[in-house]
Amino acid sequence: MIKKNKISFNPVVNKKLNDPKTSPGVSKSKKELAIEKAINLGDTISIVYKDKEGNVTKRTVKPLRFDSYGRRKYVNAFCWLRNGERNFYLSQIGNIEN
């Protein structure tokens, strides 16, 4: 039997680090920058993730790359909870810890 822990889902605010009015190119959120850093360094991170049914879980993942499907961005990562590669919608990732 799997014991469910109560984990709060606090989405990281999608604050722009660069003002698009003064900076050329696409600005990235703090969340994207943290995940990009983990990809570049090959680091493992902990994320709080809310799935499509609304279940919230804390996962230890090794991000591999960013992808997109239509207008939605997601992260392809190895997930130790599920012992395999999974896709996580960026908008559904809450807190990130290194």
**Complete domains list, the chain, with CATH:** 30-97 (2.30.30)
The dihedral through the CA atoms of 66, 69, 70, 74 has a sign that is negative
- pTM for the model: 0.72
Which tokens belong to 98? 């290194």
Q: Could you read off the pLDDT of 53-93 as tens digits, one per residue?
A: 999 999 999 999 999 988 899 999 999 999 999 999 999 99
Q: Please give the radius of gyration of the chain, using alpha carbons only, rounded to the nearest integer.
A: 14
Question: Is 49 in a helix, a strand, or coil?
Answer: strand
38 and 98 in contact (C-beta within 8 Å)? yes
Interatomic CA distance for residues 11 and 61, integer angstroms:
17
